Amino acid sequence: MPEPTTPDTRPPALLKAGSAVELAPGIRRLLAPNAGLMTGPGTNTYLLGKKEIVVLDPGPAIDTHIRAIQRAAGAPIRWVLVTHTHADHSPAATLLARETGATLVGQPPPAGPNQDQTFSPQQVLKDQEYLKTSELTLQAIHTPGHASNHLCYLHQELRWLFTGDHLMSGSTVVINPPDGNMKHYLESLERLKEFNLGKILPGHGEVITDPDQTIDWTISHRHERETKIIGAIREQHNPTTMELLATVYDDVDSRLLPMAERSLLAHLIKLGEDGRARETNKHWTLVGK
């Protein structure tokens, strides 16, 4: 789910719901019809392979999208993978697997709200484990932060990384505690730079052709937001999270402030973990200099 930075929800020319677009031989993208303020153009579903199909992030349980996936496949669907179990990425997985006999692959949903508890993987992939077909190999990379069970998938032959909601074009992502964790998110971003990435294929928006620059920009953006939070705490006297919100996220549409508050809280929790801020009776103060 993108962070609320007032994204343009109009699909770009190549992002049209219901129509599969070939990105490379054996890699197609199919946009789910769930465009909105929090999903941008919609959720990207990817179809991998030609003879046996891997479906990655089949999206929300929208019947027309499930039918579009089956029509576009053109070959037996053998595996259904999800990057994480948020409502815009995984609910169609169980339905699609039930209809096609495909194997469900991913990590189980954590406890708590906003998780798709219908997703029960038959094959649980852990960090650095592989899914191999006769045509391709995907490496799972555990990238907690946006979600504790978030996996990115690295296409070994092309070095293309399918990032779900870990990275996306045109926006940053919501980090929603308690399952979302800002410290883990930044650590996961840093780790991705070790993998010699060719392109990033996000869960929302267009293909990203400059992976390292995008990762560095995202990390820098988060550090800048953190600096802004520290300045606001310093200027305000023992502010609450909600009192900080208008100052720290003065660059977003007011309709999106409820979700911005979640990312703000994630930043504040990280500052607490780092020993740089402290919460007392729901009010925040800085620790040390």
pLDDT in tens, 195-245: 999 999 999 999 999 999 999 999 999 999 999 999 999 999 899 999 999
Final residue belonging to a domain, choices 187, 211, 235:
211
Final residue belonging to a domain, choices 177, 211, 245:
211
Confidence at residue 6, expressed as pLDDT on a 0 to 100 scale: 32
Answer yes or no: do 148 and 74 share one domain. yes
Does the pLDDT of residue 5 top 60, yes or no? Answer: no
Looking at the domain assignment, is residue 276 inside a domain?
yes
Token pair listed for 63: 């019947």
Looking at the domain assignment, is residue 13 inside a domain?
no
Answer yes or no: do 93 and 225 share one domain. no
pLDDT band of 14, cuts 50, 70, 90: low
Does the pLDDT of residue 9 top 50, yes or no? Answer: no
Structural domain harbouring 134? 20-211
Please state the domain count of the chain.
Answer: 2
Final residue belonging to a domain, choices 211, 229, 252:
211
Confidence at residue 289, expressed as pLDDT on a 0 to 100 scale: 61
Decide: pTM greater than 0.85.
Answer: yes
User: Average model confidence (pLDDT) for the chain?
Assistant: 92
Q: Which of 5-14, 156-165, 243-252, 278-287 has the lowest mean pLDDT?
A: 5-14
Does the pLDDT of residue 130 top 90, yes or no? Answer: yes
Answer yes or no: do 127 and 251 share one domain. no
The per-residue pLDDT for range 157-190, each reduced to its tens digit, is: 999 999 999 998 877 899 999 999 999 999 999 9
251 C-beta neighbours (distance < 10 Å), count: 10
pLDDT band of 15, cuts 50, 70, 90: low
CA–CA gap between residue 213 and residue 226 (Å, rounded): 20
Q: Which of 118-127, 141-150, 244-253 has the lowest mean pLDDT?
A: 244-253
CA–CA gap between residue 130 and residue 108 (Å, rounded): 17
